[in-house]
A and B are shown apart, each in its own frame.
Chain A
């Protein structure tokens, strides 16, 4: 068990809808990362937060947004959903935003857009 909790585990919704994915980092970790994993794109970095502040952005669409709250949990909001947004969304955490330490991943939220 990595200590990173993601909810919900599965989400099925229709095109055009909006969903929110939630992540609780491992106790003591201040940095949260969001990744998208789809069959044809591999694991894509979306966005990173550190202690409530956005620190880095990757291939995140404008329809997607995220935030990290004072209690350090994070939410990823996906809006105007398209079929191509169907994927596994992973949250990971680390103590500090350094690439010199390992990331601890949650078990992901599987999003299916119909």
Chain B
């Protein structure tokens, strides 16, 4: 499978704390994306980091990428109750047809306690 795998599977923190989620993948990538999914809703794109980038910021989000270790991390600073959701990493991989596509991990379920 080309999927990324998130770690931990579940994370529970107090409001105001930082949350860190990790993603590991198997093959070389062109880019890696992070998505958020609120319960029962569609996924929402958060950030894209390219293989030649090491770190990227967007508001309270910080993403790092280590291609030598085939891993990425998502840091949410000063968490809020509204950050409660599942977070997925998605990596691009080549199918047998030669087309590239996004493959998602199984997600980290984040609960932020008010």
Instruction: Give the distance to chain B from A108, nearest Cβ to Cβ, in Å.
Output: 6
B interface: dominant SS? strand
Interface residue B61 (Cβ < 8 Å from any Cβ of A)? no
Instruction: Give the distance to chain A from B41, nearest Cβ to Cβ, in Å.
Output: 5
Q: Which parts of A1-38 form the interface with B (CB within 8 Å)? A: 2, 4, 33, 35
A56 touches B106 (CB 8 A): no
Alpha-carbon distance between A92 and B35 when the two chains are bound, in angstroms: 13
Q: Which chain B residues border A100 with CB–CB below 8 Å?
A: 30-31, 48, 50, 92
In the complex, the number of residue pairs spanning A and B with C-beta atoms less than 8 Å apart equals 70
Alpha-carbon distance between A97 and B92 when the two chains are bound, in angstroms: 12
Interface size class of A (residues with CB under 8 A): 20 to 34
A55 touches B44 (CB 8 A): no
Asked whether A99 and B104 contact (CB < 8 A) given A105-B42, A106-B42, the answer is no
Most buried by B among A55, A56, A106: A56
Alpha-carbon distance between A108 and B31 when the two chains are bound, in angstroms: 25
Interface residue A104 (Cβ < 8 Å from any Cβ of B)? yes
Q: Which chain A residues border B105 with CB–CB below 8 Å?
A: 42
Asked whether A42 and B107 contact (CB < 8 A) given A102-B33, A105-B43, the answer is yes
Alpha-carbon distance between A57 and B99 when the two chains are bound, in angstroms: 9
Residues on B lying within 8 angstroms of A by beta carbon are 3, 30-31, 33, 35, 40-45, 48, 50, 88, 92, 95, 97, 99-107
What are 30 A-B contacts with C-beta separation under 8 Å?
A2-B42, A4-B42, A35-B104, A42-B3, A42-B104, A42-B106, A43-B88, A45-B102, A55-B99, A56-B97, A57-B95, A57-B97, A88-B40, A92-B42, A92-B43, A99-B30, A99-B31, A99-B101, A100-B48, A100-B92, A102-B33, A102-B48, A103-B35, A103-B43, A103-B102, A105-B42, A105-B43, A107-B40, A107-B41, A108-B42
- Known pairs A43-B106, A58-B95; list 15 more (Cβ under 8 Å): A2-B42, A42-B105, A43-B43, A45-B102, A55-B99, A56-B101, A57-B95, A90-B43, A100-B48, A103-B45, A107-B40, A107-B41, A107-B42, A108-B40, A108-B41
